A and B are shown apart, each in its own frame.
Chain A
Amino acid sequence: MPERGLRMLEFIIQNNIVCHAVEAMLFASVACAVLSVIITQVQISSIGFTMAHAAFAGAALGMFLSLNPTVCSIVAGVSVAFLIGPLSDKARLSPDTSLGLLFGICMAVAIFFIAYMQTLGQGFSAMGLLFGDVISLYREEVYLLAAICIVAIIFIVVLYKEITAIIFDKRIAESVGIRVKPVYYAMLFVIALTVALCLPIIGGLLLYVWLVAPAAIALQFCNRLSAMFVVAPTVAAIISISGALVGLEHSLPVAPLTAVLFSVVFIAAVLLSPRRRVTFRKT
């Protein structure tokens, strides 16, 4: 709800509702985009995907039990992140199989509770979890998004060396004396936290686009990881703000529209990528 409170972009956007939506989309997209570089480069997309659905299931369960959906989605996302490793080891399953299993369970739990709430006449707010609803956010939730955006950026700046080495190769990172496991689990924790906080505005079904597309677009133009960490959030912020402004102006659903814009920009980036062009250089 865009009720009274400090609006950070009020000096540019006077309309309260639009300002509220743009702020939410900006913070969510930047937080997801910086983490998308890690997710795509460490090749843990399926972990991100499963965490997004775990957060979705947690929020649905929280809503059903009249608990705070955000807290429940954080707990579910983090739990799944930390369950994947032990589950693979104990059940002697490949991480891929464990993730497939967890994903299915999370999806089933979420859909069960959403469907059940619909039969109880509480379906409207539950549907927001599927596709996101940028207008219905409380101001506190936007502040939380701003906070997680700052946390994600600080996390990457502070542990840049360790993160880049793990992205390059986990075994090489370990062999040069980096404590890979704690940094890896810290990554999963920050991703789970971000996923849970972004869920209400982007929705469980679309969140994955924000967690993958920005880095995939940046990779088409960047030779260096440091450049990807700048290009991915910049592109994501521009697309998300555009999606919010156009969606609100024409009464279109903001998150799905923005997801479509991401897809269009990704296709254009692949077609225009200088990295895929064959060139001959005279030496």
Chain B
Amino acid sequence: MTPSDPIIRLENVYTAYEGADRPTLTDISLSIGKGEFVVIGGPNGAGKTTLLETINGMLPITHGKAIVCGQDVRGDGVQVRCRVGYLLQNFAFDPLTPFTVEEVVLMGRYGTIGLFRKPGKEDYEAVQKALQMLGIEDLATRPIGQLSGGQQQKVLMALNLARNPEVLLLDEPFSNLDMFAREEINHLLARLVRSGVTVLIVSHAFDDLPDGSVRVVVMQEGTIVVSRECSPKEVEQVVRSAGKGTSHA
């Protein structure tokens, strides 16, 4: 992969869930460069989460080609996932969940550590760094189930940052956060993008996006209907005008 190559390249990709009669994503073509900030919008059920899970190889690609971080997703999704962070949506942990924050964040390193190996010094250092980036180092020894929804969201974000991802896929990252935490996360995302991390974010909240150029991708019924660059202030308008009359939300 040369520096000018896109870090994510999808060509005519079709994705289907196991046992489904028809593909959930249809004929997706998308090219995203290193350090781009991409907002994915569209109505519920449009295929936004499916797109993220296709990019990191968690769903089977039935047709087409997907290259992420120079790796063929169809060939080795596990290798791709070691380099791509993915924050899943809607998590709430039971108060009796027997894991501390530090243990959870360390899991972000497990894929890169590899089978039969134990975490080393650099893994624990990466955990500390990720906790500091999110400002939750004081929660390190607390059980995750005893934290608020917003704090749990930050822990899962730290889990993804701990493995220094080249691409960060975020599915509704602001859903449990208050306005102050949103602002913090936005500053953090802006910093990550400046350092060359590619960020793809699925969100319905477009009011607090980081400064700079943003790519908007709007999806409807499993296909991309708009993919264009704009300023953060224009994002909501672009998503609304693309989805006019088709919203199922």
Contacts and interface: CB of A to CB of B under 8 A. Distances in A.
A161 B113 contact: yes
B58 A172 contact: no
Nearest to A228: B98
Contacts of A172: 88, 107, 156, 159
Given A89-B19, A223-B98, A177 B88 contact: no
Interface string A201-236: 000000000000000000100111101100000000
Where chain B touches its partner, the secondary structure class is loop
B135 to A, nearest CB: 18
Contacts of A158: 116
A161 B99 contact: no
A275 B96 contact: yes
B82 A177 contact: yes
Interface in B1-39: 18-19
Where chain A touches its partner, the secondary structure class is helix
A168 B108 CA distance: 12
A250 interface: no
Contacts of B134: none
Interface residues of A, number: 28
Given A179-B78, A219-B96, A225-B99, A174 B113 contact: no
B229 interface: no
A17 interface: no
A165 to B, nearest CB: 5
A84 B143 CA distance: 33
B107 to A, nearest CB: 5
B86 interface: yes
Nearest to B97: A168
A162 interface: yes
A176 interface: yes
B74 interface: no
Interface in B47-103: 56, 58, 78-79, 81-82, 86, 88, 91, 96-100, 103
Contacts of B91: 169
A173 B98 CA distance: 16
Contacts of A228: 98
B81 A176 contact: yes
A277 interface: no
Nearest to A229: B98
Nearest to B88: A171
A173 B109 CA distance: 10
A224 B103 contact: yes
A168 B143 contact: no
A242 interface: no
Contact of A225 (B19, B98, B116, B119): B98
Contact of A89 (B18, B113, B119, B156): B18
A164 interface: yes
Given A41-B98, A223-B143, A224-B99, A176 B107 contact: yes
B78 A219 contact: no
A160 to B, nearest CB: 8
A240 B156 CA distance: 40
B100 A173 contact: no
A92 B20 CA distance: 11
Contacts of A89: 18-19
B112 interface: yes
A45 B56 CA distance: 31
Nearest to B113: A161
A216 to B, nearest CB: 11
Contacts of B103: 164, 224-225
B201 to A, nearest CB: 16
A168 B82 CA distance: 18
Given A176-B110, A228-B98, 12 more contacts: A41-B98, A89-B18, A89-B19, A161-B118, A168-B99, A173-B107, A173-B110, A175-B86, A177-B110, A178-B78, A224-B99, A227-B98
Interface of A: 41, 89, 92, 158-159, 161-162, 164-165, 168-169, 171-179, 219, 222-225, 227-228, 275
Q: Top 8 A-B pairs ranked by shortest CB distance?
A: A177-B111, A177-B82, A177-B81, A175-B86, A225-B98, A176-B111, A161-B110, A165-B107
8 contacts: A41-B98, A89-B18, A161-B113, A172-B107, A174-B58, A175-B58, A176-B82, A224-B100
